[in-house]
Amino acid sequence: MRIRALTLAASVLLATIGLTSCVGAAGSKEAADVRLQGSGASFPFPIYSKWFKAFSGAHQNVEIDYQSTGSGSGVKSFIDKTVDFGASDKAMTPAEIKRAGGGVQLLPLTAGNIVLIYNVPGVKKLRLSRAAYPGIFLGTVKKWNDPAIAKANPGVKLPDSPINVVVRADSSGTTFVFTQHLSTISKAFAANPGKNDAPAWSVGTRSKGNEGVTSSVQTTPDSIGYVEYGYALIQKMPMAQLENKAGKFVAASTASGQAAIASAKLPANLIAWVPDPAVKDAYPIATFTWLLCYKRNPEPRKAEVLRNLASYILTDGQKESEALGYLPLPPTVAAKVRAAVHNIQ
């Protein structure tokens, strides 16, 4: 298979100036038998890039083009049927599934942590309590040496400078998951702006995609923003330890993220959330992310390729997850999703 895809190495290289926003590469001498076009969430882009490239090594007759446009855009393109598949961290609502028509199969192919990256000169380790980080994104905690932050960081020299908050500018599944968590732990946040993929933030500089937020925090002193863990890992950005429901300050990692998603109860539609995991060692913000597929495809060959791609991702592909900052699916979850792959026809 040929794949119109940047190699992972190119993606990592370009990460130094902001992660790329699409998977694609120049065509070769022979035309592909099948061309798949997808778009949506930036959250899984690095791992999708890796998987698509690896899958292409075993096949020479398919091209795949995936554009990192944001979950909201991905869902819209999927409903409008301008793509062969979509991707979203927000999954799809029953109303959106109905609008798509013809049957929809959502596949949670991977999962990840949402982390708070920061750029505070001289601060190498930062703890944020359940009072502090909702307050930052509400605009009530305004300075880095605010008592709400200082209390959890004894001995750390925090600057008396304003906190530069960076948020997403686009309709974003990452934002939906992040605001869902903040709304769960903060009544004030739940009241306004609340859970939303494009909330009316009262603070913050807007940047597009996980790529944009990462770049903005990198280049803005005294800033903080939320991104998928893999982006922070690639860019070697410092990440705050967050206080979880059990009162423990936890760093994002494979183990702490898996502890969170393992507590999810996956129903028949394969949509489940863990907005505030109660497990002692769980990182507090973790989520699945979904590939959006049509159950009935006008071209059977495309459906076959999608089934084969998903099956690869759910088996050998899971071995690639941890190195890029994603969470390998628990075996029981992967088995349930593999069974659902057969619904794509």
pLDDT, tens digit, 9 for 90 and up, residues 179-210 = 999 999 999 999 999 999 999 999 999 999 99
Q: DSSP code of 32?
A: P
- pLDDT tens for residues 12-71? 333 433 444 555 543 343 457 899 999 999 999 999 989 988 887 788 888 889 999 999
Number of C-beta neighbours around residue 57 at 10 A: 9
* Residue 77: C-alpha distances to residues 71, 73, 186, 243, 253 (Å): 10, 6, 33, 37, 33
| pLDDT tens for each residue of 292-307 | 999 999 999 999 999 9
Same domain as 197, residue 211: yes
Let me know whether 253 and 136 are in one domain. yes
**Do 117 and 210 belong to one domain?**
yes
> Does 228 fall in a domain?
yes
Specify whether 221 is located in the same domain as 322. no
- Please say if the pLDDT value at position 169 is more than 60: yes
Query: Residue 272 falls within a domain, yes or no?
Result: no
Where a domain ends, among 206, 241, 261? 261
Rounded Cα distance between 321 and 306, Å, is 19
3 is a domain residue: no
Closest CA relative to residue 41, chosen from 79, 80, 67? 67
The backbone torsions φ and ψ at residue 38, rounded to the nearest 5 degrees and listed phi first, read -135, 160
- Which of these three, 261, 280, 300, is where a domain ends? 261
Task: Give bridge partners of residue 205 from the DSSP assignment.
Answer: 166
Domain closes at, from 244, 261, 278 = 261
CATH of the domain at 221: 3.40.190.10
CB distance 287 to 266 below 8 Å = no
Q: Is residue 335 situated within a structural domain?
A: yes
**Residue with token string 């183990």:** 255
Give me the long-range contacts of 301-307 (CB less than 8 A, separation at least 24).
Answer: 301/33, 301/34, 302/34, 302/36, 302/84, 303/344, 303/345, 305/34, 305/36, 305/62, 306/36, 306/84, 306/85, 306/344, 307/341, 307/342, 307/344
The reply to whether 96 and 120 lie within a common domain is no
If asked whether residues 27 and 156 sit together in one domain, one would say no
Q: Is residue 297 part of a domain?
A: yes
Burial class (CB in 10 A: 0-12, 13-18, 19+), 327: buried
Are 210 and 299 in a shared domain?
A: no
Question: Which value, to the nearest 10 degrees, does the dihedral of the CA atoms of residues 124, 245, 261, 84 take?
Answer: -80
Return the pLDDT at 234.
92
Verify that 337 and 208 share a domain, yes or no: no
Q: Both 140 and 173 in a single domain?
A: yes
Taking the C-alpha atoms of residue 154 and residue 66, their distance in angstroms, rounded to an integer, is 45
Q: State whether 312 and 252 are in the same domain.
A: no
208, 237: one domain: yes
Whole-prediction pTM value?
0.90
Instruction: Specify if 282 maps to a domain.
Output: no
Give the model confidence (pLDDT) of 90-124 as tens digits: 999 999 999 999 899 999 999 999 999 999 999 99
Flag whether 136 is in a domain. Answer: yes
The pLDDT value given to residue 57: 75
104 DSSP β-pair partners = 294
Q: What is the DSSP string of 209-221?
A: HHHHHHHHHHHST
* CA–CA distance, 85 with 74 (Å, rounded to integer): 9
Whether the per-residue pLDDT at 126 is higher than 90: the answer is yes
Instruction: Determine the structural domain holding residue 304 and report its residue range.
Output: 8-111+291-341
Q: Same structural domain for residues 107 and 125?
A: no
DSSP string, 324-342: GTEEPPPHHHHHHHHHHHT
Domain count, the chain: 2
Question: Distance from CA of residue 120 to its chain's centroid?
Answer: 24
User: How far is residue 257's CA from residue 285's CA, in Å, rounded to a whole number?
Assistant: 8
Nearest to 289 by CA among 141, 70, 124: 70
Query: Considering the domain boundaries, does residue 42 fall inside one?
Result: yes
- Burial pattern 220-241, b for ≥16 Cβ within 10 A else e, equals bebbbbbbbbbbbbbbebbbbb
